[in-house]
Each structure stands twice: as C-alpha cells, then as structure tokens.
Amino acid sequence: MNGLDLLILAITVLALAYALYGGRLARLWGIDPARKTPARDLEDGMEYVPSSPSVVFGHEFASIAGAGPINGPIIAAMFGWVPVLLWLLLGAIFFGAVHDFAALYTSVRNKGKSIGSLIELYAGKTGKRLFLVFVWLFSILIIGAFADIVADAFSGFGPGGEPIKTNAQVASASLFFIAAAVGMGFLIYRKKTSGLASGIIAVDLLVFCIVLGLFFPIFLSKDLWLLVVFGYIFISSVVPVWSLGQPRNYLNFFLLIAMILAAFIGVVFTRPQMSIPPFTGFSVNGNLLFPGLFITIACGAISGFHSMVVTGTVSRQIENEWHILPISYGSMLLETLVAVLALIAVASLARDGVLPREAPPVVFATAVSGFLRQLGFPDEVSFSIVSLAVSSFVFTTLDTVARLGRLSFQELFTCGTAEAPLNAGPEHVDSGYAGPEHAESGYAGPEHAGPSGDRGKTFPAFLRRIMGTKPVSALCTLLPAYLLAILGYQNIWALFGAANQLLAAFTLLVCALFLKQSRRGTAVLIVPTFIMLAVTYSSLAITAGTKIGLLIRGNFNPGVDGFQLSIALALLVVGILVGLSCLSKLFSKNPANGTAGEIP
C-alpha cells in the first residue's frame, strides 16, 4: 500500500465522521447559537475575551498539536502501520474528538470553569484538590520535558562545540515570532482588525520571520536557551492571553498549516511506499500492544492535555456556541491528519522493515523535505522550515501549559475554588456560580476562601494572599520544572503517556456527570471512559511491577527507578481515588450535587 491511498482513506473517514458523528453530538447535547457564552457574559479583557472563531481555532489547534501527533505514531510504528492507523482513526472519532467536544461544551455551559473546578462541582471538593495537584505536577513534567526539547532544538552548538546553523535559524525565527505575536495581539484586540486582514498580515509576518531566521541565525548554548525559554514562558503565563499567547498560537497555526500542506503535497505527488509491515506482533522489543499502543499515541487519538487547553483558555474565548463543534471536534480530527502524515513519513523512510533511529521530529522533517526535494525544492531550506514548524509547536505547547499550570496552582489557594456550592441545584449548573472574580483576578478576600469556608484553617490568610498571586503561582510552577529540565527529562518520559491518558479519563468522567445531571445522554462517553481507565491503570501497574521486580532482583537504581516507581504509584493512587469518586456519583440514583432537572 502506498502513502497516498492511506491518506485518501484517512481524509474520507475523518470528513464523514465530522459531518455525521460530530453533527449528531451537537444535536444530542443541544448546541444553542442564541445562548450567551461566558466570553460575552463575563468579558473582562483578560481571560474572558470574545474572539473570532478563526483566531480561536488557530489558538486551539496550535496549542493541542505540538510535537505530540508526530512523536506518537512514529514511535508506535514498531507495531506495524495497521494498528497505528486503526487507533488513530477510531480513537480520534469516538474517543479524542468526543473528549474535546464534551470538555469544551461542559466548560462553556459552566461559565468557562476549568476541569478542576468542574470536578469539584460534580464530584466534590476533595476530588478537585486531588485533581489540581495532579494537573500542577503534570504541568511541571510537561514544562520540564518540553523546555529541554526546545532548548536542545535551539542550541547553536553541537557536543564538540561545532555550530549548528539549522538550530540557530529555528531559534532566531521563534524569537521573531514572539515579537510579531505582540503586534498581532495589538492589531486584533486593540485595532479590531478584521479576520481576513488579520490572516493576510499573519501570513506576511510568518514569511518575514522565517526569512529573518534563515539569514540571521542566533547561536547560543543550550543552557542559555533554557534561561531564555523559562523567562519567556514566565512572562507569557502572567500577561493577558490576548496580548501574547493567543496571537502567537494564531501565527503558529499558519506555520503548521503550511507544514501540513507541504507534507500533503509531497505525499500526493510522490506516492511513498509503506515500507513497514502491516502488523509486527503483540509484543515488540518488550513493549506490549496493550496498553503500549494506546499510551504511546495520545495526541492524534485522545489526549487529556486537550481538556486543559479547552477548559483553561478556549472556553473563555468562544463567542457563539455554534463554534464549539469545529473548534473542538474539528481541530482534533485535523490533528489526527497530522498523525497520519507522520505515520506515512516514518513508513517511507524504513528500509527492509527497519525503522529509522533518529528522533521523531528529525524523521518527520527528513521525510517531508525528501518529498519536496523530489518536487524540486532545495533540501536544506525545506528541512529547516519543517524543523522550524515542529520546534515552534513544541514551544507553543510550553506557552499554553505554563499558563495552565499557574492557573491550577493558583486555584489551590484562591477563590478559584469557590465555585458553585456542592448542593447547588440545576439553576447553578449551567449558569455557573463564580463571577469574573475567579482565580485569574488573584486573591478575592477571606470570605471566598473555599466552598465551605474552611481553607483558612489550613493556610493562613497572608500565605494564601501571597501564593494566590500570578507571579508567585507562576514561579512555584516554573522553578521545579526548570530543575527537572536541568536534571534531564528522559527518566520520566515513559510516564507522560500514562499521566496524559489518566487526565483524559478524568475529563470524560466529569463530562459524563454534567451530561447526566443535565439529562443530555451519557452513553457516548461511557465506553471511552472505561477503556481509558483500563489502559491507564494497566500501564501504571505494569510500570510499577517492573520497577518492583528490579528492586527484588537487586538491579534497582534509586535515582532513576525509584523516581519512576514513586510517580507511577502516586498517579495510580490518585487515579483510583478520583476515578472511584466520580464513578460513585455517575452511577448513583440521584444526579450529582443537586436536583435532577433539565438545564435551561
């Protein structure tokens, strides 16, 4: 089979899924274009900002894509292209896109609340506190890992001190992107530039930044780039989202689209062969198909990280409920297309069924530049542009996660925990409870200490006041992540997939609770929820069992294996506690936290 046939099959299936299954979900859940959204109801110029659907789609797609849909399929190709393709298509349609749609819809119908606040509303404050700690730790892991990846990709010098021009070009263009993003934010939100004009300006700025990066590379060491990266994401995490994060994602959206088009054109005209077996086995190099495939491929199939994006930022920018379907379900399916292109890329570079050994971003860039070379494009330029696109979107993920990690930490100490009362009736479920004085505005006074007013017994008021500020919350999130980046992320990378899918299971559970209380049908979420819980618990249990086995045999490394074991056990315990809390509410006879009734 060649890559073009596979690509046509994927596009056809995804397009039909959007029109048929996505449309069915919109009707089932009662999408109402006439309903006032949180962005309009709570507009504050900071987080609640009604935005053009094209801008929000670009922000959403750039935030969720990153390097995830490239890394996962390329690594999982060891099982063969058939299981990878099946999980990408079926997972995206019935798991990932449903997960993203449900999360965004639930948050919009609850005043743009974060997933942690939604867990408190429907499962109780203990579940929320556990979840916020989980999200904060998860954010630290992602930031530490991705910052190390970005710094390595930007490093202008190799191990022997030799200059690496491509890396320096990528780094330079990325810095120009940041400056351009500030200008875009000013044009869109202060000058009210139209969507068409914004798109034209964005493309022009994108080309200008790439050209400047190619001609004016910046050569810095990896250690210096780490400092620059963390300095940037600190600023980005505390300033208004419209001023930097959103317009930067908007610019990167066009770059990602250009990369997708380049890969698409290359596949169409070169028709690369799938040079790997359709299926290699249920166990490959010690990796089991279950749960390994479903943990390795997250972005592109289902990713819990998406829920942090859609409930932490996107739900507060939706100006019309009708935009929820394309922004959530649509962007997830487009991400799946990127993952399919990554699968075709790695399969095209395989020789005699042996996969290339380079890092996934390098494999993808090599394959796409190879496609373009056959069409007459200069190899060095095309490789640099594709590498720039991949690195830029890892940077975008950092941008988003830094803000979400800061918000989660802030919610632990501020009135962000003061959402709807635990005994709220149906009148509070869709209308929300907290006004604009949420966590983003900082500390709101001791009277808002917590749902039951007991948070002051645990933390003194002055400590909550300090810890609840944006700068301190950001520092408490970024400092441990910086230490992790210095120490190296490789020793915990294998646990990222499990943590990510555990987050997806939590999100599906809380969305099911909302749908149950609002009487809008939970059946479409039940099967994905239980499958993701089974995948996550199995993966964490296997990891913990492997490390305990090493301990028994005397081959245990306390620094590496001990760290992995402690994280695996912590995630497993938290996952079971939160899962049981949500499941007990889901299968109880009475609706969660209130009286049954149709949400108005």
Structural domain harbouring 266? 3-278+305-414+465-489
Whether the per-residue pLDDT at 366 is higher than 50: the answer is: yes
Decide: 358 and 113 in contact? Cβ < 8 Å.
no
pLDDT digits (tens, 9 = 90+) for 386-415: 877 777 777 777 887 888 788 878 877 764
* Out of 9-18, 372-381, 435-444, least confident range: 435-444
CA distance 402 to 88: 28
Does residue 447 sit within a domain?
no
Does residue 78 sit within a domain?
yes
pLDDT value for 101: 97
Does residue 140 sit within a domain?
yes
**Band (459; pLDDT cuts 50, 70, 90):** low
Does residue 291 sit within a domain?
no
Phi/psi for 151 (5° steps) reads: -60, -40
pLDDT value for 4: 95
pLDDT digits (tens, 9 = 90+) for 515-539: 988 888 788 999 999 999 999 999 9
pTM: 0.80
pLDDT digits (tens, 9 = 90+) for 134-143: 888 788 878 8
Q: Tell me the sheet residues that pair with 284.
A: 287
Q: Tell me the sheet residues that pair with 287.
A: 284
- % of residues, the chain, pLDDT over 70: 86
Does residue 419 sit within a domain?
no
pLDDT, average across residues 493-497: 73
Residues in contact with 331: Cβ distance below 8 Å, sequence separation at least 6, in sequence order: 57, 60, 61, 64, 100
Residues in contact with 178: Cβ distance below 8 Å, sequence separation at least 6, in sequence order: 232, 244, 248
Instruction: Report which of residues 95 and 407 the model is more confident about.
Output: 95
pLDDT value for 61: 84
pLDDT, average across residues 371-387: 80
Does residue 536 sit within a domain?
no
- 40 DSSP assignment: H
- The residue among 423, 329, 412 whose CA lies nearest residue 116 is 412
Decide: 287 and 382 in contact? Cβ < 8 Å.
no
Does residue 543 sit within a domain?
no
- Provide the number of structural domains found in the chain: 1
Does residue 251 sit within a domain?
yes
Please tell me which of 63-67, 85-89, 267-271 the model is most confident about, judged by mean pLDDT. Answer: 85-89
Whether the per-residue pLDDT at 46 is higher than 80: the answer is: no
